[in-house]
A = this chain, B = another copy of it.
Amino acid sequence: MASEWEYVELATKIFSFKRGDVVVGAGEDDCAVVKVNNRSIVLTADSLHEKTDFPPQIREWEKGHMSIAVNLSDIAAMGAEPAFFLYTVTLTKNYTLKKFREFCMGIARLAEKYGVCVVGGDTDSGDEFAVSGFAVGFSNKPLLRKNAKAGEKVFITGLTGKAQLSLEQLFSGLSRDSIAFPEKLYTPEPKIEEGIRISEFVSACTDVSDSLAISLHLIARASKVRIELKSVDLSLLEEYVDKEKAKELFLYSGGDYELVYTCEDDDGIEIGKVVEGRGVYIDGRTVEFRGYTH
């Protein structure tokens, strides 16, 4: 099987047909952007599967939470306000109405928290539990990946690496109550308010789903700039692992759903700067394009 990126690239080529009201199309950014009566609407779709995407010991309502959270994170990355959500869910033979109720409650709670109305759903049966989400939002000024400028600083809304650290602790035998950051692993919070706040002054933004490294590369490529990372305080991770592993988790692990953005200045967590050139570097060495793969 080819890599996910190859499939995305191929699809982007095939779906080249554009309408006049499409501002940002398939594969170009975290969401598509279309104009409706002069208003910018953002659209996104994301799916999760039992075996590849849900951590062990996850509860049914947390599956619901995650399925809407990953979509709202894409909306947050555009600096947009989420409005509507639809889902399709694949139910396995032993999936009871009781489980389904808990799953839906997980969606409903996060939706209501952000004023999102769940306007549609579809259930079908299949071999593996899976859920696809579709989110629609409104934006005054969509935050793209492509407008980072030399001279700006790079920020993140929270330290990355916590989700993967917690997952590895689970795999090493810890219970879900004993891992370092259970809420990052089971109920990641989409950074909606932060996205809207920074949309006023930020040049480029994306969320961190696969890894910080990949998100930075996407901004650097789209903006045609070079990003140089500086040394960042990883003590929150270093309480659990050594310095080398903490750096690996920080750069190359996924699932934290923080935002990474560039601007002149802000009081977020500063992790580097934008300069002229290409690529992503730390201590003079290339940051690899790799992260979580499904």
Contact = CB atoms under 8 A, between A and B. Distances in A.
Nearest to A9: B97
A15 B118 contact: yes
Interface in A28-42: 31-32, 34, 36-39, 41
Contacts of A2: 96-97
Shortest 7 CB-CB distances between A and B: which pairs? A32-B119, A37-B37, A132-B132, A47-B88, A134-B134, A15-B118, A45-B86
Nearest to A20: B117
7 contacts: A14-B101, A14-B108, A15-B108, A25-B117, A34-B119, A43-B119, A134-B134
A83 B39 contact: no
Given A17-B117, A48-B124, 8 more contacts: A10-B104, A17-B118, A21-B83, A32-B84, A34-B119, A36-B36, A45-B134, A125-B294
B34 A37 contact: no
Number of this chain's copies in the complex:
2
Interface in A112-138: 112, 115, 117-128, 130, 132, 134, 136, 138
A81 B148 CA distance: 37
Contact of A84 (B34, B91, B93, B128): B34
Interface stretch (A49-57, A157-165, A236-244): A49-57
A136 B120 CA distance: 12
A4 B86 contact: no
Interface residues of A, number: 76
B120 A47 contact: no
A87 B132 CA distance: 9
Interface of A: 1-2, 4, 6-8, 10-11, 14-15, 17-19, 21-22, 24-27, 31-32, 34, 36-39, 41, 43-49, 51-53, 83-84, 86-88, 90-91, 93-97, 100-101, 104-105, 107-108, 111-112, 115, 117-128, 130, 132, 134, 136, 138, 294
A69 to B, nearest CB: 15
Given A1-B91, A115-B19, A86 B134 contact: yes
B17 A108 contact: yes
Q: Which among A52, A118, A119 has the highest number of chain B CB atoms within 10 Å?
A: A119
A88 B132 contact: yes
A126 B187 CA distance: 22
Nearest to A8: B123
Nearest to A128: B127
Contacts of A17: 108, 111-112, 117-118
Contacts of A18: 117
Nearest to A2: B97
A136 to B, nearest CB: 7
Nearest to A30: B120
A226 B294 CA distance: 52
